[in-house]
Structure 1
Amino acid sequence: MRELRDLQLPLNQTQKIRLRRALQQLQDLASKASSSASVTVADTIPVNHEDGVLKGHGTSELDGEVVATLCGVVERVNKLVYVRALRARYKPETGDIIVGRVTEVAQKRWRLEINFSQDAILMLSSMNLPDGIQRRRTAVDELNMRSIFEESDVICAEVRGFQHDGSLHLQARSQKYGKLERGQLLTVPPYLVKRRKQHFHHVEKFAVDLILGCNGFIWVGEHVEARDNMVEDQDNKSEQQNSKLNTRSLRLEEQESTYTPVETRQSICRIANAVRVLSSLGFSLNVEVIMGTVEQSISLNLDIHEMLGAEFCVQIAEREVERRSSLTKKRR
C-alpha cells in the first residue's frame, strides 16, 4: 500500500490520520482476502521438500531452506514456487493492448516508446493502411510513412511478440488501433493496470474514449467512431455523384473536426484527474473505479482542479474502504 510520504499532498494533521487509517484498513482487507503469503527479502518460504519443489523467480536456497530474494506474494503452480513482485516493471506478453509514442520513423518501421526497457517496433507491413485495402506495401507506401505516423504521435497497438533478434514487435491490423488524437496521455505504474478481456472503453455519457494500456500508458480522449471499409466505399460513390455539394460539406466537416466541444474537454480533464488521484493512492485501475471517482467528484460539486486536492484524495481512500468492505460482506 502506498505510504503517506509518497503522495506529495499538503495534508493537515486530521487528513493524515484519516488517510493513514484508511490505508491501513485497505491493507488489512487485502491480507485477509489473499490466500497467498506476503514475503520480504530473506523471509523463509514454507515448502514440502519431499515433493521435489522447483524454485522459481524471486526465490533461492539458503541452508536447506527456500528464501525470498524480493518483496512480493508467494505463488505456487504445481511444484513451482515463485514470488510475484507487487511493483514490477512492465513485462510484455503477446496480445497485450498498449499505448505508445512514436520516437523514430525508420525504414519500413516505426519505433515506439512503450514504458519498457527497450523501444517497440511497428512494421509497415503489420498495420492497416489508410485506404483500408489489403495489399503488399510498395515503395510509395514507404515514402508516405510520415503521413501516417510521425514523431511524437500517440498510437494504440497490440503486442505481436518478440522476434528472433530480441526486438519487441507490435501490430495494428484492426480499426480500433492506430493514431490517437484530441486527448491526454497519462503515465501510471504498469502494475496498477491488470490484464483484462476489455481495455477499450467508450464512456457514452461523456463522449470519451478510455484506453487502459497494459504498459501503464492510459489514453483519455474524444470518442472516435471506427468506420467500416464498406461504409467508406459507399460514401466515396455518393461523393462522386454530388461533388459540388460535398465539397462544401467537407469544408464544414473539416472545421468541425478541428474543434472539440468544451464539455468534452472538461470531461476528459475530469476523467484524467480521477486516474491521477487513484494512481497516487496506488489503487488498481479499471473503468468501474475510475468512473466511480468521477461520479463522486460530480456529486460533491467539485471543480476539475479541486479533484487533485488533499481532501478529495482522503475521501476516495475512505470510499474505497467502504466498497471493499461491502464486497467482503457479500462474499460471506
Structure 2
Amino acid sequence: MRDLHFPLNQTQRVRLEAALHELQTLAPAAASAASVTVADSIPVNQEDNILKGHGAADHDGEVVATLCGVVERVNKLVYVRTLRRGILSLFRYKPEVGDIIVGRVIEIAPKRWRLEINFTQDAVLMLSSMNLPDGIQRRRTAVDELNMRSIFEENDVVCAEVRGFQHDGSLHLQARSQKYGKLQRGQLLTVPAYLVKRRKQHFHHLEQYDVDLILGCNGFIWVGQHVLVRENTELKEDQHKLSDEVDTFTSIETRKHICRLANAVRVLSALGFILTIELIIQTAEASLSSNVEINAMLGAEFYVQTAEREARRRADLVRKKNGAR
C-alpha cells in the first residue's frame, strides 16, 4: 500500500486492514514466492527439466535460493536476481524489445529526441525511426532535421515502441506506426512499472467515455481524448481536415471522464493493485454508481471501498474456481 497521504478514522483503518489481509490470503502462492531469501524453496516442476542459474541450487531434492532477491524465469532457466540497488530497483522499468512505452521529451539533439521513460538511462528516438507529419516514407533531409521542433519539443508526451539496445547501452525507440507519436489533451500518470504487466494490447479506446487509455510498460500511463488513427494515404488526403480537428474544443464531459479514469488509476496504484483495463473501468464505474464526485475518489472512504470491492471480487473468483473442480 503506497501514497496514502490522508488520515483514516478508526473504522476506516480497521476495514482497510481487513480487506488487505483478505487480499493477502487470496494471493496465489507463486506471487508470494517471487521474492526469496537464502535457503527459501523455489517452486518448480521437476518434470520440466529446469536449468538452475545464478542464485539457485539443489538441496535435498528441492531447488533453493542461495541469494536474496527475486526469482526470474526464462524458458527452463530459473535464477535469482539480486537487489543490488535495494528495494527501489523493483520500481524501475526493465525494457524488452517490442514494449509499448510512454515518455516525455527532455532534449532535442541532432537527428534525435531524448525521452525520460522511468529507466536508468534516457531513451533515444531517432528522426529516421518515426513517421513524418506528411506521412510519406522517404529519406530524412537537412530540412527535416531543422523542423524537428515542429514535430516534438521539450515536455511533449510521446508514445513509442522499444526497438532495441545499442552497443553503448542506450535504449532506442521507434514510432513508425500512426498509433505512435505525440499525445495531447489528457493526463500523464506515473505508477511503479511492476503494476503494468506486458499484454497483447496496451492501447485501449473506451468508447463509452470517448477516451484513449495507454498502459505503458514503463509505468507511464496516458489518459486522454480519443484520437482517430489514420492510414498514410488518408492522412495525406485529410491534412487540412485533421489540422482543423486539432483546434476543436474538448468537451467538459470528456474532461470529466479523463479525470475520473485518471483518479481510478491513482487509487488502484496507491493500493498496489495490478493495473488492468477491466479493473480501471470497474473502479470508475463504481464511483459513478455510488455518486462519488471526481475529487472525492481520492478521499479515504473511496480507497477503503475499492480495497473491499477487490477483496470480494477475488474471493468470488476463488469460490467459483473451487466449485468448478
Give the TM-score of the pair, scaled to structure 1.
0.85
Per the alignment, residue 243 of structure 1 pairs with none
Per the alignment, residue 55 of structure 1 pairs with 53
Asked whether 1:19 is paired with 2:30, we answer no
Amino acid at match of 1:23: L
Per the alignment, residue 245 of structure 1 pairs with none
For the residue of structure 2 that corresponds to 1:322, the secondary structure is helix
Per the alignment, residue 140 of structure 2 pairs with 137
Asked whether 1:284 is paired with 2:274, we answer yes
Per the alignment, residue 297 of structure 1 pairs with 287
One of 190, 195, 200 as aligned partner of 1:192: 195
Distance 1:180 1:11, change over 3 A: same
Per the alignment, residue 119 of structure 2 pairs with 116
Quick one: distance in 2 between partners of 1:98 and 1:145?
21
Q: How far off is 1:320 after superposition?
A: 0.4
Asked whether 1:181 is paired with 2:184, we answer yes
For the residue of structure 2 that corresponds to 1:24, the secondary structure is helix
- Higher-Rg structure is 1
Distance 1:82 1:142, change over 3 A: same
Per the alignment, residue 69 of structure 1 pairs with 67
For the residue of structure 2 that corresponds to 1:331, the secondary structure is helix
Quick one: distance in 2 between partners of 1:306 and 1:173?
41
Amino acid at match of 1:105: I
Amino acid at match of 2:126: M
Distance 1:74 1:162, change over 3 A: closer
Quick one: distance in 1 between partners of 2:31 and 2:237?
57
Quick one: distance in 2 between partners of 1:78 and 1:113?
34
Asked whether 1:327 is paired with 2:317, we answer yes
Flag structure 1 segments of 5+ consecutive residues without an equivalent: 240-248
Quick one: distance in 2 between partners of 1:76 and 1:124?
34
- Superimposed CA distance per residue, residues 237-296 of structure 1 (whole angstroms, 9 cap, x where no aligned partner): xx8xxxxxxxxx899x36x72421111111100000000000000000011000000000
Amino acid at match of 1:164: H
Quick one: distance in 1 between partners of 2:305 and 2:95?
34
Check the 8 A contact 1:19/1:317 in 2, yes or no: yes
Distance 1:220 1:52, change over 3 A: closer
Check the 8 A contact 2:104/2:155 in 1, yes or no: yes
Quick one: distance in 2 between partners of 1:167 and 1:78?
29
Distance 1:63 1:35, change over 3 A: closer
Check the 8 A contact 2:163/2:174 in 1, yes or no: yes
Quick one: distance in 1 between partners of 2:76 and 2:196?
27
Asked whether 1:208 is paired with 2:211, we answer yes
Asked whether 1:8 is paired with 2:11, we answer no
Amino acid at match of 1:54: K
Quick one: distance in 2 between partners of 1:163 and 1:311?
48
Flag structure 2 segments of 5+ consecutive residues without an equivalent: none
Matched ranges for 1:92-111 at <5 A: 92-111=95-114
Give the TM-score of the pair, scaled to structure 2.
0.87
For the residue of structure 1 that corresponds to 2:27, the secondary structure is helix
The percent of aligned pairs where both chains have the same amino acid is: 61
How many aligned positions are there? 312
Check the 8 A contact 2:157/2:183 in 1, yes or no: yes
